[in-house]
């Protein structure tokens, strides 16, 4: 997913601790694989495990930034057909999904 900030950075930063706690919870649940800020800082990127789109949309709606309408999410679905050797286990799990 791509996150695009829909508010000034001051508002984004004010709500950042709550967003970070939400992100950490998704890692603990095993749903997120990678995340971080875009450069320049206009939003972010999150890579998740495969899941039905409706479940993903429901999950994103619980992000404090989304609840406060500070970001807009763009979901970009893709199927990995090739990965680096370090990601082979992940790609095998995706293909079985």
Which fold, 2-96?
A: Alpha-Beta Plaits (3.30.70)
Region of residue 29 (left: phi > 0; alpha: psi -120 to 50; beta: else): alpha
22: CB partners within 8 A, 6+ apart? 62, 63, 64
* pLDDT at position 95: 57
* pLDDT at position 94: 57
* pLDDT at position 84: 81
Sheet containing strand 2-5, edge to edge, reads 32-37, 43-48, 2-5, 71-74
Instruction: List the domain boundaries for the chain.
Output: 2-96
Specify the pTM. Answer: 0.85
User: Is the pLDDT assigned to residue 80 strictly greater than 90?
Assistant: no
Structure confidence by residue, pLDDT tens digits, 35-69:
999 999 999 999 998 899 999 999 999 999 999 99
């Amino acid at each position: 997913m791509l996150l695009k900030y829909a508010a000034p950075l001051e508002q984004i930063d004010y709500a950042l601790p709550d967003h970070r706690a939400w992100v950490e919870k998704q890692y603990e649940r095993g749903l997120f694989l990678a995340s971080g800020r875009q450069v320049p800082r206009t939003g972010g990127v999150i890579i998740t495990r495969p899941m039905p789109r409706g479940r993903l949309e429901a999950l994103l709606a619980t992000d404090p930034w989304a609840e406060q309408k500070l970001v807009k999410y763009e979901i970009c679905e893709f199927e990995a057909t090739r990965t680096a050797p370090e990601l082979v286990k992940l790609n095998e799990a995706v293909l079985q999904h």
